[in-house]
Amino acid sequence: MFFHSSSVEGVNFDDLREGQQVTFNEARGEKGPCAENVQVQ
């Protein structure tokens, strides 16, 4: 699911790794569904 780097909370976007588990709230963006309030578990 798409999310903007500004939607990441608690860690820097550059610290995220593929396959890492996160929680998020689903929202509706201009181009469709997106994630907000992305947090590492």
Asked if 1 and 28 touch (Cβ cutoff 8 Å), the reply is no
Predicted local confidence at residue 27, as pLDDT: 97
- The model carries a pTM of 0.83
15-34 per-position pLDDT tens digit: 999 999 999 999 999 999 99
Asked if 27 and 34 touch (Cβ cutoff 8 Å), the reply is yes
Predicted local confidence at residue 39, as pLDDT: 98
Predicted local confidence at residue 38, as pLDDT: 98
Q: Identify the band that residue 37 occupies on the pLDDT scale cut at 50, 70 and 90.
A: very high
Q: Identify the band that residue 40 occupies on the pLDDT scale cut at 50, 70 and 90.
A: very high
DSSP letters along 1-41, please? ----GGGEESS-GGG--TT--EEEEEEEETTEEEEEEEEE-
